[in-house]
Amino acid sequence: MSNHKDVIIKRYNRISRIYDRMDKMVKEAWRIELLKQVSGEVLEVGVGTGVNLAYYPKGVSLTGVDFSPRMLELARKKVDRNQFRFEVQLLEADIQELPFQDHTFDYIVSTCVFCSVPDPVEGLKELKRVCKPSGKILMLEHMRSENPVLGFGMDLFNPISVSLWGANINRRTMKNIEASGLNVDSSELLMGTVMRKLTLSP
């Protein structure tokens, strides 16, 4: 697992400078709608180059983690260039082994992250662990289409996607969420069954 993770990190390090252009599949309106409700202690997992930083409301205390040091370098430059109206701390960390105590965060955010976590169920269990019992986990995630033809096509293309940038485009994320023990409070389809906005609770 460690060797697999190292390979993925190298791929994200390699694409870090073009990642913002690649991330255009996540619409600005989706980010605004997802993040406007957060408050208190917030954790963003897979913060990447910090694309979401511009959309957080003032007054939150944000911790962002990513396992790619080069992606984090670019996120830190965004923090240095902008005067965000909230506290932000960026850390190099693995979603599967988060360096936080149980029940730390009011909100946890992920946008298109669980396609590249080596063990997505373990990563989701970690989110459950560090989320407060009254907290919420907010996700924008792409996943394998429920359309049989499109889903099969995603299966065929997945090895190419993984080799290029480490992202599995055919993850069955809803089943992974169920296996992690998290509860689905709401699920909104944004792009067929490929992209969803999810609200989860521990």
> pLDDT-derived band of residue 59, with 50, 70 and 90 as boundaries?
very high
**Contact 166/68 with Cβ under 8 angstroms?**
no
CA 63 to chain centre: 13
Q: What's the CATH number of domain 2-201, 3.40.50.1980, 3.40.50.150, 3.40.50.300, 3.40.50.12500?
A: 3.40.50.150
Structure-block tokens of residue 154 = 């995603």
Report d(CA 185, CA 11) in Å as an integer. Answer: 34
165, amino acid identity: W
Query: For 75-100, what is each residue's pLDDT tens digit?
Result: 999 999 998 989 999 999 999 999 99
Which three-class secondary structure state does DSSP give residue 78?
Answer: helix
- For residues 4 and 6, what is the distance between their CA atoms, to the nearest angstrom? 5
Domain ranges of the chain: 2-201
Binning pLDDT at 50, 70 and 90, where does residue 196 land? Answer: very high
Q: What is the mean pLDDT of residues 106-132?
A: 95
pLDDT of 141 = 92
Q: What is the pLDDT of residue 155?
A: 84
CA distance 194 to 197: 11
Residue 190: Cβ-neighbour burial (10 angstroms; 0-12, 13-18, 19+): middle
Long-range contacts of 78-86 (CB under 8 A, 24+ apart): 78/49, 78/50, 78/53, 78/54, 79/50, 79/53, 82/53, 82/54, 84/53, 84/56, 85/57, 85/58, 85/59, 86/56, 86/57, 86/58, 86/59, 86/60, 86/61, 86/62
